[in-house]
Amino acid sequence: MSRLFPRAIVAATALVAASASRAADPVLAPSEIVAAAPAADWTAIAPTDLLVMDLAPDGAGHPRRVVIQLMPAPFAQGWIANIRKLAAAHWWDGTSVNRAQDNYVVQWGDPDGEDKAKARVLPAGLVKPEEAAYSVVFPRIPMSLPDGRSVDRPANPLAVKWIVPSELRADPYSALVGTTASGWPVASDGASLWPIHCYGMVGVGRDMPPDTGSGAELYAVIGTPPRHLDRNIALIGRVIEGMEHLSTLPRGTGDLGFYKTAAERTPIRSIRLGTEVPGLPAWQYLSTESASFARYADARANRRDAFFIYPAGGVDICNLPVPIRRTPNVPKP
Of 178, 231, 203, 214, nearest to 70 (Cα)? 203
Q: How many CB atoms lie within 10 A of CB 9?
A: 10
Q: Which stretch of DSSP H or E encloses residue 77?
A: helix 77-88
- What's phi and psi for 15, nearest 5 deg? -65, -45
Q: How far apart, in Å, are the Cα atoms of 21 and each of 16, 18, 262? A: 8, 5, 62
As beta bridge partners, residue 237 has: 70, 202
pTM of this structure? 0.87
Q: How many CB atoms lie within 10 A of CB 227?
A: 18
**CA gap 284, 50 in Å, rounded:** 12
The residues, ordered by sequence, that sit 6+ positions from 281 with a Cβ below 8 Å of its Cβ are 326, 327
**CA gap 172, 188 in Å, rounded:** 12
Of 231, 236, 223, nearest to 105 (Cα)? 223
Do 97 and 106 form a contact (C-beta atoms < 8 A)? yes
**CA gap 86, 65 in Å, rounded:** 18
**CA gap 3, 5 in Å, rounded:** 6
Q: How confident is the prediction along the chain (333 residues), in pLDDT tens digits per residue?
A: 434 333 333 333 333 343 444 444 578 999 999 999 999 999 999 999 999 999 999 999 999 999 999 999 999 999 999 999 999 999 999 999 999 999 999 999 999 998 989 999 999 999 999 999 999 887 777 766 666 667 666 666 566 776 654 444 578 898 888 888 889 999 988 778 899 999 999 999 999 999 999 999 999 999 999 999 999 999 999 999 999 999 999 999 999 999 999 999 999 999 999 999 999 999 999 999 999 999 999 999 888 898 999 888 888 899 999 999 999 985 544
Of 28, 33, 27, nearest to 323 (Cα)? 33
Domains of the chain, each with CATH number or no CATH: 30-137+174-323 (2.40.100.10)
Q: How far apart, in Å, are the Cα atoms of 68 and each of 14, 183, 187, 283? A: 53, 14, 21, 11
